[in-house]
Structure 1
Amino acid sequence: MRPEALPGWLARMLGNARPKPAAGPAPRERTTPLTRARVAAHLTRRGYRFLLDEDGDLTGTWDGSRFWFLLLGEHGEILQVRGRWHRSLPIAQRAAVLLAVNDWNRERIWPKVYLREEDGELALYSEVSVDLEHGVTDSQLAQLLACGLGTGVQVFAALDALLPAPPSSS
């Protein structure tokens, strides 16, 4: 895919320029505690649109699917980027969808993908979770957020191709 053909948010996430070789050793970044404010600041720097939901979690929509940026654990030390596919599927498709989900999880490290039954239908989720108990640098945080979003969008695009939406009745 040509860089100009990428969606704006994906081009920003991947960067439009090749990295320049370092002139010398890069200054060493210090780890600092994970906070919701740091996650929000990174998303803002990337030009992403997001909001704070009623539970106090950062959330936004990428390629039509909802993503949350959660801080879990006793001290909010676990970063989880969780996505929910924009479609729901009938319960009758559970066996076929489980095969696709199992294939994905077996062949890839990220994201973890799973099904949940919600309101009589199947919902598909992606998750990337990382324990950051000892802190995280800004570069590491950027990479983890890009991984959670990028791989989540990737699995949802694969599901869109594998399980096309039924024709709408108009």
Structure 2
Amino acid sequence: MSIDPSSIPNFGSQPEPDQPSGGPTAGVVVPDQDLVKQLLDQMGLKHAVDEENDLLAPWEEFRTYFMFRGEAQQHVFAVRTFYERAYTVDEKPQLHEAIDEWNHLTLWPKVYTNTDDEGVVRLIGEAQMLVGMGVGLDHFVATTVSWVQASIEFNKWLGERLGLEETAGDDEPGESGGSDGTGEGSEGSEG
């Protein structure tokens, strides 16, 4: 299966009025890592597979993981973003106020804090959908693109909201390695 490049949403313009509906991407699929790689390639995003076999797209200030978990009908696709900026435990109340505002105003990613054993606080954003029974390819593509864009937007929004230095989150993904910034790997911060 392949992704029709015209199916990748351009949120800045309206679709062509004479564009036929349906077409080659109208089918139902059970997405997998190869499909997500193809989508990231078509979006022009650099990506790699980490030591836990999770697909990731690294930016300078965060990494976004594309993970599949569960089996059969309970198969879940999750997009989880680990933001690299470190905070102290004393800054946690200010962070909670900001992320509560974000979570209230937006659909995704839902953002939460993760505090490691040394007291370093980092933020994690996450969105997920059940895909085990299949999902429309157009819906999957549009949703995944939207989740990536929202992860980038959150990084910029938080920098503005907290009055932090200019963020580089809208640049091309970086060349950094496979760490997720928590020291725990992509699964270590699930709860």
What TM-score comes out, normalization by structure 2 length? 0.72
Aligned counterparts, 1:10-49, within 5 A: 14=10, 18-27=14-23, 29-49=26-46
CA distance in 2, matches of 1:37, 1:111: 23
Residue in 2 that maps onto 1:70: 67
Unpaired stretches in structure 1, ≥5 consecutive residues: 1-11
CA distance in 2, matches of 1:60, 1:23: 31
Unpaired stretches in structure 2, ≥5 consecutive residues: 1-7, 166-191
CA distance in 1, matches of 2:16, 2:129: 29
Query: Quick check: which one's strand share is greater?
Result: 1
Question: Which deviates more from structure 2 when the two are superposed, residues 88-97 or residues 134-143?
Answer: 134-143
Contact 1:67–1:83 (CA under 8 A) maintained in structure 2? yes
Cα gap change, 1:94 to 1:34, in 2 (>3 Å) = same
Structure with the bigger RCO (C-alpha within 8 Å, sep 6+) is 2
| DSSP-derived class of the 1:69 partner | strand
User: How far apart are 1:123 and its partner, in Å?
Assistant: 0.7
CA distance in 2, matches of 1:62, 1:150: 12
Contact 1:82–1:127 (CA under 8 A) maintained in structure 2? yes
Q: Report the count of equivalent residues.
A: 155
User: How far apart are 1:18 and its partner, in Å?
Assistant: 4.7
CA offset digits 1:112-145 (Å, max 9, x no partner): 1100102421110111111112212332221121
Letter in 2 for 1:126: G
Query: Quick check: which one's helix share is greater?
Result: 1
Percent identity reads 21
CA distance in 1, matches of 2:27, 2:46: 28
